[in-house]
Amino acid sequence: MTRLWQLRDRALTLDHPLVMGIVNVTPDSFSDGGRFLAPESAVEHATTLLAEGADILDVGGESTRPQSAEPVPLEEELRRVLPVVRALTAVRPDVVVSVDTVKAAVADAALEAGAQIVNDVSGLSLDPSMAAVCARRGAGVVVMHSRGGVSDMATYAHANYANFLGEMLDELRERVDAAEDAGVDRERIAVDPGIGFSKRPEHSLLALACLERLAAWGYPVVVGASRKRFIGQLTGARDPAQRRDGSVGAAVAAFDRGAVVLRVHDVGPTRRALDVAAAIRAAGAGA
Ligand code: HH2
């Protein structure tokens, strides 16, 4: 039976891994900050990602980078994100755009402008209106695990766990239940362990190693390991842009453990690696 992730006015098929290409419209994102701040260059970058095989474009106007991420004022975030969402959905009406934001007003405006998915790294916890906006608009929603606020969620400030896996899963479950209680349909929800968010490298590795426990809940699992610190530590690549190969390895390992949406910077190499991994799985299923 084909599994689907219901979005606003369409659905994504989950029988093949989906690549979510990152479109950061920020001056300070940890690996590509400032490169695509002008709407035209963000749209050009997004078009390249689609040509490389992206299924979803994740547009974000606020960074959570580990060193001193500054919360972005609402007006500024709208100014960054909306022209890009509008331009993308105008040029490519079939494109699936997700908006990476913790602000309900940004989510609402982006959905109005044609976005299909809200990707909230706070698990819909930082803005009390977020779940209601998502429910009213019928958006697809990525509920991600993190702790703290925008400025410290990608640091180790809250990375204290007695039992990492149990606590992470319990906290994420609470956020999913809260979203459903606020009226978000179950079939519109995807879950994400939040690699690198309030997690030391050993936590990120454990979250990936035990991803099947999250996948067992039945929601599509999203994983964003691309270019993150634990990959730098494992491969010795200090510059995030040099972490492509390690990131592809993480994406394949995540897919193998139940992830179906992989959020990445390097779309082409990830697409090709996942296509091979998916073909191997399919061959095994028929054997
Ligand atoms: N990671 C980042 C941002 N958004 N969304 C989901 N669902 N999962 C993630 O792991 C995730 C995310 C951080 O990466 P990036 O956007 O490249 O950097 P920045 O936060 O500096 O914009």
Ligand 1: nearest atom to the Cα of 228: 14
For residue range 158-179, list pLDDT tens digits in order.
999 999 999 999 999 999 999 9
Residues 142-169: what's their mean pLDDT?
96
The residue that leads in pLDDT, 27 or 54, is: 54
**Residue 272 catalytic?**
no
Separation of 90 CA from ligand 1 center, angstroms?
Answer: 25
Average pLDDT over residues 60-66: 85
The residue nearest atom 15 of ligand 1, judged by CA position, is 29
Section 120-126 average pLDDT: 98
Task: Please name the residue whose Cα sits nearest to atom 8 of ligand 1.
Answer: 224
Read off the pLDDT of each residue in 1-10 and give the average, rounded to a whole number: 93
- C-beta neighbour count of 233 within 10 angstroms: 16
Q: Is the pLDDT of residue 11 over 80?
A: yes
Contact predicate 55/95, CB 8 Å? no
Contacts of 150 (CB under 8 A, 6+ apart): 62, 64, 69, 71, 102, 122, 126
Q: Please, what is the average pLDDT of the chain?
A: 94
Residue 31 alpha carbon, nearest atom of ligand 1:
17
Best CA proximity match to 226, nearest among 245, 206, 200: 245
Question: b vs e for 51-61, b when ≥16 Cβ sit within 10 Å of the residue's Cβ?
Answer: ebbbbbbbbbb
Atom of ligand 1 minimally distant from the CA of 69: 21
* CA nearest neighbour of 159 among 108, 98, 229: 229
- Say yes or no to pLDDT of 37 above 70: no
- Per-residue tokens: 124: 């819909």
Nearest-angstrom CA–CA distance, 76 and 70? 12
Q: Which residues are paired to 13 by β-bridges?
A: 4
Q: Are 61 and 77 in contact (CB under 8 A)?
A: yes
Ligand 1 lining (C-beta closer than 6 Å): 22, 24, 26, 29-31, 60, 63-65, 100, 119, 121, 142, 144, 192, 194-195, 222, 224, 263
- Residue 44, CA distances (Å) to 39, 50, 136 in order: 9, 10, 31
Q: What is the CA radius of gyration of the chain?
A: 17
Query: What distance in angstroms lies between residue 208's CA and the mean position of ligand 1's atoms?
Result: 16
Residue 36 has pLDDT above 70, yes or no: no
Confidence category of residue 61, pLDDT binned at 50, 70, 90: very high
Q: How far is the CA of 224 from the centre of ligand 1 (A)?
A: 7
Q: Which of 18, 20, 22, 77 for mutating ligand 1's site (highest number of atoms within 8 Å of CB)?
A: 22
* 263: annotated active-site residue: yes
**Which amino acid residue places its CA nearest to atom 10 of ligand 1?**
224
Angstrom distances, CA of residue 276 to CA of 54, 65, 244, 270 = 16, 32, 17, 10
Compute, in degrees rounded to 10, the torsion defined by CA atoms 29, 256, 17, 36.
10
Distance 59 CA to ligand 1 centre (A): 10
- Specify whether the CB–CB gap between 25 and 59 falls below 8 A: yes
Residue 211 CA to residue 228 CA, distance in Å, equals 17
Given 175, 228, 229, 271, the catalytic residue = 228
Task: List the residue whose alpha carbon is closest to atom 18 of ligand 1.
Answer: 29
Number of alpha helices (DSSP H) and beta strands (DSSP E) in the chain = 10, 10
93 by Cβ neighbours in 10 Å (0-12 / 13-18 / 19+) ranks as: exposed
- pLDDT tens for 208-264 read 999 999 999 999 999 999 999 999 999 999 999 999 999 999 999 999 999 999 999
Q: pLDDT-based confidence at 156, cuts 50/70/90?
A: very high
- Among candidates 227, 226, 215, 166, which has minimal Cα distance to 191? 215
